[in-house]
Amino acid sequence: MTSRTRTGAGVIGALAGVVALAGVAVAPAAQAATGCAVTYTTNDWPGGFTAAITIQNLGSAINGWSLGFAFPASGQKVDTGWSATFSQSGQNVTATNVDYNAAIATGASVSIGFNGSWSGSNPKPASFTLNGVTCTGSVTTSSPSPTPTPSPSPSATPSPSPSATPTRSPSPSPSPSPTGGKPTVAADGTGTYRTVQAAIDAVASGNSSRKVITIKPGTYREIVTIPANKPYITLQGLGSSPGDVVIVNNHYAGGNGGTFNSATAFVNGHDSALTNLTISNDYVEDGSTVNQQAVALNLNADRAVLSNVRLLGDQDTFLINDSARAYVKSSYIEGTVDFIFGGGTAVLDDCDIYEKRSSGAPITAARTDAAKTYGFLVYRSRITGATGNTTQLGRPWGPDAQVLYRESSLSSTIKTSQPWTDMSGNSWKNARFFEYRNTGAGATVNSNRPQMSDSQAANYTPQKYLAGSDGWNPIG
């Protein structure tokens, strides 16, 4: 594999926590509901669950609402929510409307939901209040079930589907377009805007509160940029899976000013979030010319959260720049060469990572600064590929690159004898590359596979990777 230099202006990105972020404007004239019904159902798996909540207004029309409930068990927790802003204090949870579903007419309903975690047990809440009024409707929950195994999302057209299908873990399943409202973005004209960029452009500069941009299922062929002066933006797909909303383009390094400028999505505003959608660069890298790198997501700002997202590309799919901290949860990332790369800090938690090139290549190319303790953590994730014994865990774009694969399943696609390799004169042996308690056919141990000790691993948790100087903890 020949080395290469990435050029171009380092613009872009950053996403942020969806849960427990205050600032969604509630309509000032929120009335008390004179009657309400709530249906609460869950899909459980060991240690986690997805909750779907339907709120029906049985009283006078309201404009602006807050739903309250208490978890019966102390180990229950909201992790990531959609169609509402969730906050939790102890066992008490509050869900507040977002702008598109503030109004609930008499007899109308609104659907919201969240991904949660639990320890010990996961009993249903006993009661709910809507604007302070106790709801009388049904409260139900599904029977406990084994860990579901949803089918992985295929590559966006025209990218070919992987020949080997990764196994997906449970991930958020947001409800369809909310009742009584319309999406922010819809390509067919049924939303407020036809393009994602138009909706972002409409957000005021210096925005200080959460702005949720909902996107109707469809394909949006455009270049999307969230500027640095527009923080707290959430892009939320309204489909039943992340493959229903696809933001896609086909720029590449050779024709667009270098690798950094080739992305489909540039996310610069801090505390932004992406959920339940796909970002794809469908430029076909055939290897016949140089400078064919084509980035899907270029992430440049701090405190970014990606949940239930697909990132699709070939070489250099996902760029995490130096200033970014990113928490990527229950998502799918595919590519060919160095498709998770950069100098930022990222935790990939419960993700599926797929090497789609039959000849294999390195997955990561970190450029961690020597002064930074943490680079990339692949945590409790699944690594698969198109062929066996061909894929490498990574190579050092910078001499002090830091990457840890922790408690993850490494399939037979991993090149077991030599899973790390050199890059651009940087030796993998001098980089900070480690594995810890991985499993699977590709998780053998030899002298070319540095293993982290238990005592070291205590300081390399997801929380420690992301804490920084401000104590950021999107995990809870």
Q: In 396-413, which positions are buried (b, 16+ CB within 10 angstroms) versus exposed (e)?
A: bbbbbbbbbbbebbbbbb
Radius of gyration of the chain (CA): 22
Q: Which amino acid is at 206?
A: G
- Decide if 316 is catalytic: yes
Helical ranges in 185-311 per DSSP H: 196-201
Classify strands 233-237 and 273-281 as parallel, antiparallel or unpaired.
Answer: parallel
Q: How far apart are alpha carbons 160 and 335 in whole angstroms?
A: 11
Catalytic residue among 44, 302, 338, 350: 338
Position 456: which residue type?
Answer: Q
Write down the residue that tokens 């959608």 correspond to. 277
CA distance 304 to 109: 31
Sign for the CA dihedral angle at 161, 167, 169, 170 comes to positive
Contact at 8 Å (CB) between 276 and 212? no
Q: How far apart are CA 154 and CA 160, in angstroms?
A: 8
DSSP three-state, residue 259: helix
133, HSE (Cβ side, Cα atoms, 13 Å): 22
Helix (H) or strand (E) holding 403: strand 402-406
454 noted as active-site residue: no
CA distance 114 to 211: 18
- Distances from the Cα of 312 to the Cαs of 112, 239, 339, 386, in angstroms? 27, 18, 9, 15
List 316, 349, 352, 400, catalytic entry: 316
- Dihedral sign of CA atoms 129, 130, 134, 139 in order: negative
Active site residues: 316, 338
